Amino acid sequence: MSLSIEQLRYATYFAPRGSTRMQNLGNQISQKYLLPNDKLIGIIGDAGSGKSLLIKGMFPGLELTNDDDGINTRPSPLMRDYAKNRFIAHSYHIDLRFELAFTQAYELVDAIKSALNDKKRVIVEHFDSIYEQLGINGDLLIGIGEEVIVVRPNLFGPEPEDIKKTVYKSLLYRRMAHSAEDLLVHILESEYGLICDGHGDVKHGFILSFNKKPRVSLSVLEKKVKSLISMDLIITYLDPTHIKIGEDIIQYCTGPRTHMNHTKQIENFHLLDDYVYDPVKQTYELVGMVSEEQIKDIHKINHFGD
């Protein structure tokens, strides 16, 4: 075991929006932190947080028992092979929240333990739902909220409930930020003909990058976004690359499930007072926030500690 893995307490990443970026992050996490003898992988996060996408990136080719289009495989490969008392696959995925609607918890516990005893890997979505009955912690826990948290538990924790409390609470900021971002992008495209050259993330917010500094007033943009927010428009999933805002707005979006239900649920939206120049990327950054804190020093946005 490498020293970096052995000493891992936790690692955090911004939870990116969009299927490609989320799957790429999953691939990075598997390369950095997944060991061959890691058999029990716990995934924790609320609906729409991107769990399935991250799993697809971590385990390419794995047959998922659910996907982002709401299609569920019944019976799941794990339960099917458990019933046959013959585990064929190398790895199994199971969505506990879905499976518990059809199967008793003790049967799921037996199936997971049987697969593990047969040296198979089991990726358990909503791991927190079965942890107490299972009685063993994951070799690797991954929580998805505003950030993706990677944890290698030991005898002293952390436990799945610790991860759940953190990511479920923080997902709200991610939903608000992504919703506000789409409102802003809609205004930039429809009213100014401006298309950003890249998207990024900050704590409780988002970044739009431009190769040339836009000649658009940020105070005016902020007012326009707040006006849409106050209209309490319904935001709905339309298809894998679009959302619908209100009755008329169809907006391209690579993360259509990570939004608030109504625009008025977006709280404390504001833009930084000016575009921020990034000398490394040579881009101008437009930064939007959904935070009560008014940031005066941009270097304090992604602060650590208290």
**pLDDT one-digit tens code per residue, 103-112:** 999 999 999 9
Residue 292 is predicted with a pLDDT of 81
What is the Cα–Cα distance from 232 to 267, expressed in whole angstroms?
12
Mean pLDDT of the chain: 91
Amino acid code (one letter) for 176: M
For residues 3-28, one letter each, b for 16 or more C-beta atoms within 10 angstroms of the residue's C-beta and e for the rest, the string is eeeeebeebeebbbbbbebbbebbbe
Task: With beta carbons less than 8 A apart as the criterion, state whether 91 and 121 touch.
Answer: yes
User: For residue 98, with 0-12 CB atoms within 10 Å meaning exposed, 13-18 middle and 19 or more buried, which class applies?
Assistant: middle
3-state secondary structure of 81: helix
Task: With beta carbons less than 8 A apart as the criterion, state whether 262 and 234 touch.
Answer: yes
What is the per-residue pLDDT across 50-59, written as a single tens digit (0 to 9) for each?
999 999 999 9
Quick one: average pLDDT of 144-166?
A: 93
Quick one: average pLDDT of 8-15?
A: 88
What is the Cα–Cα distance from 180 to 159, expressed in whole angstroms?
33
What is the Cα–Cα distance from 124 to 51, expressed in whole angstroms?
11
Quick one: average pLDDT of 49-77?
A: 82
DSSP letter assigned to residue 59:
S
Residue 93 is predicted with a pLDDT of 96
pLDDT at 73 over 70: no
Which residue would you say has higher pLDDT here, 107 or 70? 107
pLDDT at 172 over 50: yes
Residue 63 is predicted with a pLDDT of 87
3-state secondary structure of 244: strand
pLDDT at 2 over 50: no
What is the Cα–Cα distance from 14 to 19, expressed in whole angstroms?
14
3-state secondary structure of 226: helix
Residue 297 is predicted with a pLDDT of 64
173-300 CATH: 3.30.980.10
* Residue where the block lists tokens 């799921």: 108
The fraction of the chain above a pLDDT of 70, given in percent, is 92
What is the Cα–Cα distance from 229 to 14, expressed in whole angstroms?
25
Residue 126 is predicted with a pLDDT of 95
Residue 69 is predicted with a pLDDT of 52
What is the Cα–Cα distance from 158 to 153, expressed in whole angstroms?
6
Residue 3 is predicted with a pLDDT of 42
What is the per-residue pLDDT across 234-283, written as a single tens digit (0 to 9) for each?
999 999 899 999 999 999 998 898 999 999 999 999 999 999 999 999 99
pLDDT at 305 over 70: no
Domain 3-158, CATH 3.40.50.2300 — does that match? Answer: no
pLDDT at 217 over 50: yes
Q: How far is CA 154 from CA 113, 124, 222, in A?
A: 19, 18, 46
Residue 300 is predicted with a pLDDT of 67
Residue 155 is predicted with a pLDDT of 85
Categorize the per-residue pLDDT at 293 as very low, low, confident or very high, splitting at 50, 70 and 90: confident
Residue 288 is predicted with a pLDDT of 95
Residues of the chain with CATH 3.30.980.10: 173-300
pTM of the model: 0.86
3-state secondary structure of 127: helix
Residues of the chain with CATH 3.40.50.300: 3-158
pLDDT at 213 over 80: yes
* Residue where the block lists tokens 């939004």: 259
Residue 71 is predicted with a pLDDT of 56
